[in-house]
Amino acid sequence: MKRSAKTELRAKSVDDLQKQSLELREQLFKGRMTTAIEGKGLGGKARTIRRQIARIETFINQSRQGGATGAAAKPTAAKAAATKSSSKKAKV
């Protein structure tokens, strides 16, 4: 997925993301039904839809947890080094 598409997803509200997730789930369900009934389904597109649903759900969970994403959620090397050195001093 392109970065611009991910940025657009992050810009949407949680309600919009939930609606989009529901629409994709319905599309996936209809594809499964057409496979069972008619024998032709989504094919490789099902994988793309499942991944898109997972991506949207991830953005929803991140926004509910306070918006910590990617590099912002990981501590920097300086903070990690400071934490290690202070724990060594406490043991001595």
Cα 52 from Cα 59, distance rounded (Å): 11
The predicted-structure confidence for 38-76, as pLDDT tens digits, reads as follows 888 888 899 999 999 999 999 999 988 886 555 444 444
State the pLDDT at residue 74.
47
- Residue 33 scores a pLDDT above 60: yes
Q: Check if the beta carbon of residue 31 is closer than 8 Å to that of residue 46.
A: yes
Greater confidence (85 vs 71) lies with: 85
Q: What is the mean pLDDT of residues 5-33?
A: 90
Label each residue of 21-40 as H, E or C: HHHHHHHHHHHHHHHHHHCC
- Cα angle at 49 between 48 and 54, to 5 degrees? 100
Q: Quote the pTM value.
A: 0.65
Distance of alpha carbon 52 from alpha carbon 46, whole angstroms: 10
Q: How many CA atoms lie within 13 A of 1 on its CB side?
A: 17
